[in-house]
Amino acid sequence: MFATRNTESLASFNTLSQIINHLELGESRDLFMWSNSEEVIVQVELPGFRTEDVEVEIEDRLLYIGLAEKSHDSEYDSHEQLTGKLKEHRVRLPFNVNVDSVEAKMDNGVLEVRLPRVESERPRKIEINN
C-alpha cells in the first residue's frame, strides 16, 4: 500500500496516475489519497461544511467532490449562507472501481470516500504447476 499527499515532490510518486493527480490538484493541501490492490481511499478536509453541502460523483475513472462556497451575511454576523458557487476537487483514480460499492462518510469535517476496485481487475496469485 502507498500513501500520497499531493504536496510531495514529483520524485516521490510511484505511478503516472499519482503524478497526474498532483498536477491536477495544484496547491490543494486538504486532499489525501491512499490505494492498495483492493481499494482507493480519498479523504478531504471540509471544515464547516455539512453532509448536505457536499456532492460526490464518479464518472469513468474520475472522482468529483463538489461543495457549495459559504459566505458571511453582513446583516447576521454569526449566520453563514451558501452562495451556490461550487468548489470542486477532481481525482483521477488509479483503476476502475465498483461504483455500486462506493462508500462515503463525513465525520468532524473530514469526508472519506472508499472506492473498491472492480473484482475482475484485482491482482490474483497464479498457481505454478510442476
Percent pLDDT > 70 in the chain is 63
Q: Is residue 22 part of a domain?
A: yes
Residue 120 CA to residue 34 CA, distance in Å, equals 20
Separation in Å, CA 95 to CA 26, 52, 83, 101: 21, 28, 35, 15
Q: Is residue 77 part of a domain?
A: no
pLDDT the model gives residue 69? 61
Q: Is residue 113 part of a domain?
A: yes
pLDDT the model gives residue 88? 81
Q: In what order do the strands lie in the sheet with 54-59?
A: 54-59, 62-73, 76-92
pLDDT the model gives residue 124? 87
Q: Is residue 39 part of a domain?
A: yes
What average pLDDT does the chain have? 75
Residue 26 binned pLDDT confidence (cut-offs 50, 70, 90): very low
Q: Is residue 115 part of a domain?
A: yes
Q: Are 9 and 18 in contact (CB under 8 A)?
A: no
Q: Is residue 16 part of a domain?
A: yes
Q: Is residue 84 part of a domain?
A: no
Query: What mean pLDDT is predicted for residues 23-52?
Result: 80
The number of domains in the chain is 1
Q: Are 34 and 18 in contact (CB under 8 A)?
A: no
Query: What mean pLDDT is predicted for residues 16-42?
Result: 69
Q: Is residue 50 part of a domain?
A: yes
The domain that holds 99 is classified in CATH as 2.60.40.790
Range of the domain at 27: 2-63+89-119
